[in-house]
Amino acid sequence: MELRPAIPPRILVVDDEAGFRELCGDLLADSGYAVDAVDNGAAAMELLAAHPFHLVLTDINMPVMDGLTFLKTAKVKFPQVEIILMTAFGGLQSALEALRHGAYDYITKPFTRDALLATVGRCLEKQRLAMELRRVQDQLIEKEKLAALGSVSGWLAHRMRNPLNVILMCAQYLKARFSDQDERREVVMAIEDKGKALERMTHDFIRFSRTYEPRFRPENLGALVEEVLAAADSGVRMSGVTVTRALDAELPPVPLDKELVSEVLGYLIDNAVEAMGGPGTLTVRARVEGEDAAIQVGNTGAPIPTDIRPRLFEPFFTTKERGTGLGLAISRRVVESHGGTLVLLDLPETTFEIRLPLRREGRP
């Protein structure tokens, strides 16, 4: 049985011969592709501007706009779309010109069903591999950037730590010598407050620069969630937030570093409570999905704006006045060190999901 992708590749057939256009479209549709068809290059350009396509199969000799003109124009405006040229009047010169202008391949009519599908299959596979290569390259570049950023952050944090300790010690020394009515005490308290804020930033910088090496042990995920919720209980109740639990009763042991995962979960819960800014509902779910354990933390606060969502996990990106923008970046690094993922789900309720593999590679 042939396995077809959930979303089939979309192909555009361009040919001024109605019979051939329909035949070609039927062959491709029968093989699981989504197919559109038009009779000239100008109409094809309009369709490409309106809809995304993976591949265009186009005749060369057509009215209004011929295939070579279409190829040259389309490759400038839609460089990601692959194009295969078809003609009943094949020749080396036109084939070379087609390839020189970016065509994936050149096939001569008449061709068999197998020849058509083989060419289309090779083209789409090449496109898939190119996309995968770009994705891997982007990941490697991002990891190199994060590693460099982590090194700088760690160096800066360690250089800041000693001066900050001296500032805070001096502030505490002076505060003890001024009465509550003395205006100078307020100045010293302001110094202490800003010093503590910098101390928190330094702590975040050091955490971000760390290399996380989890100490794996099989843990009861339900119990871990309950422990974290219990630790956050006073802050949750003071904010007027109601907690809703949806924890599967039969959760298997999950290999994880309890301290690290508890820290991430606690951060997500605190973040959710802060995002609501008052009464609301905090929902925590834990269940098994396939080969993973999934923990979701959702809240009924204002939705995260669409333009901000793609940047949430960027180091130092924050919308908070006193935030460092490292909380989610650190949390993602911790989860990824477990072989898992941390994402913001596309749901009406703001929901972050941690996924952890139920099995470590090479171990049960």
Q: What is the pLDDT along the chain (364 residues), one digit of tens a residue?
A: 333 445 788 999 998 888 888 888 888 888 889 888 888 888 889 889 888 888 998 888 888 888 888 888 888 888 888 888 887 765 556 667 777 778 888 787 787 888 888 988 888 888 888 888 777 776 666 666 656 666 666 666 667 777 888 888 888 888 888 888 888 888 888 888 888 878 777 777 766 666 778 999 999 999 999 999 999 998 898 899 999 999 998 888 999 999 999 999 999 999 899 889 899 999 999 999 989 999 999 999 888 888 888 888 887 767 776 666 778 888 998 999 899 999 999 888 899 999 999 987 655 4
DSSP reduced 3-state for 305:
coil
> Is residue 245 within a helix (H) or strand (E), and if so which, with residue range?
strand 241-247
Report how far residue 209's alpha carbon sits from residue 214's, in angstroms, rounded to the nearest whole number. Answer: 15
Give dist(CA 332, CA 268) in Å, integer: 11
Q: State the CB neighbour count (10 A cutoff) for residue 266.
A: 16
Place of tokens 């049960």: 364
pTM over 0.75: no
DSSP secondary structure of 109-163: SS--HHHHHHHHHHHHHHHHHHHHHHHHHHHHHHHHHHHHHHHHHHHHHHHHHHH
